[in-house]
Structure 1
Amino acid sequence: MKIVIINYGAGNIQSIKFAIKRLGYDAVLSSDAEEIKAADKVIFPGVGEASSAMKMLLNSGLDKIIPTLKQPVLGICLGMQLMCHSSEEGNTEGLGIFDVDVVKFNNEVKVPQIGWNQIANLKSDLFNGIADKEHIYLVHSFYAPLCKETIAESEYGLKYSAALAKDNFYGTQFHPEKSSDVGEKILGNFLKNI
């Protein structure tokens, strides 16, 4: 199985690569459109600020490639947010895969949300073997509201989308590669069951 992690300069790439290695697979880092299109599974990571990350995608032409992919694609954290319609962070237009707009947490909660939180209402094979209320690791100031594409939710002042799915595209607001055994199982489900 060929697993490609999209390398566009805004990723927590090494920790994802190590997590995949622990599951017994190898992943290739690539920004090459043909290599990405030829992969069996694609992981779209992201750490940082939405508008500058989107600029990197635009400059590399990957903004045109990612929405056309036919194989399973997993966006992680900012990667998931960039797959949405837009983000309030830097007033950024996203890739428009998920039909939801990313917004900032209000001032009633401390931002960014950093640390462990629970996921609930799990609705996908991505969560096979994962119990409701398991803990995952998050670092974010912006979130995708609950919508028809929500497949898991979390709560921080309000309920929001912890994960999204549409067709062959999946996204997690949390970092599976930093979420201990639960995250490893979710990553394993993506590689084996999706």
Structure 2
Amino acid sequence: MREGPVANVAALRIDPAQSELVWSRIKSMPRIEGSSVKALWLSLFNDTIGGMVLIGALILAGFGMLIAIGVVYNSARIALQERAWELAGLRIIGLTRREVSAVIVSELVAELVVAIPLGLLIGRYLIELIASARASQSFQIPAVIDPSSYVIASLLVIAAAFASFIMVRRRIDTLDLVAVLKTRD
């Protein structure tokens, strides 16, 4: 950087209303090699980082949705498979399909009542841990979670559970009582 009056020019403030005129005049001056607007560079940086964070968040949210659906569905299928013998026995002694379905669904609902708040809490701490681990001297992305994100995540898990309950109900309706009772482990 050159010594003298040129070094002091960088400390000047420009009226935002006159900034276009000032920057166009500066660009036309032959002795000035370059100029930049700090606010413009910060805006571009924020847009770039914001876009990358949004894309990363969408990818992670997509994987999270797939995992949530898979876990809930597999939990329902495993519960049905493990309880097939007992459920068939309940059907044989006179319980209706609806009552037998209520047994397995109530077990899965109890799991959801525990799992959803616990998952939201663990997720919150995991996000804070990741954000603090990625912090650097250049920039830091705060761990900010909108309350609507909790609602959306919870509704997604509940919707996956509802779809799983429907599938379990169909499997209970088509349960072959004689075959299930013959295959006791």
**TM category, shorter:** under 0.3
The structure richer in strand per residue is 1
Structure ID, larger Rg: 2
The structure richer in helix per residue is 2
> TM-score w.r.t. structure 2 length?
0.20
> TM-score w.r.t. structure 1 length?
0.19
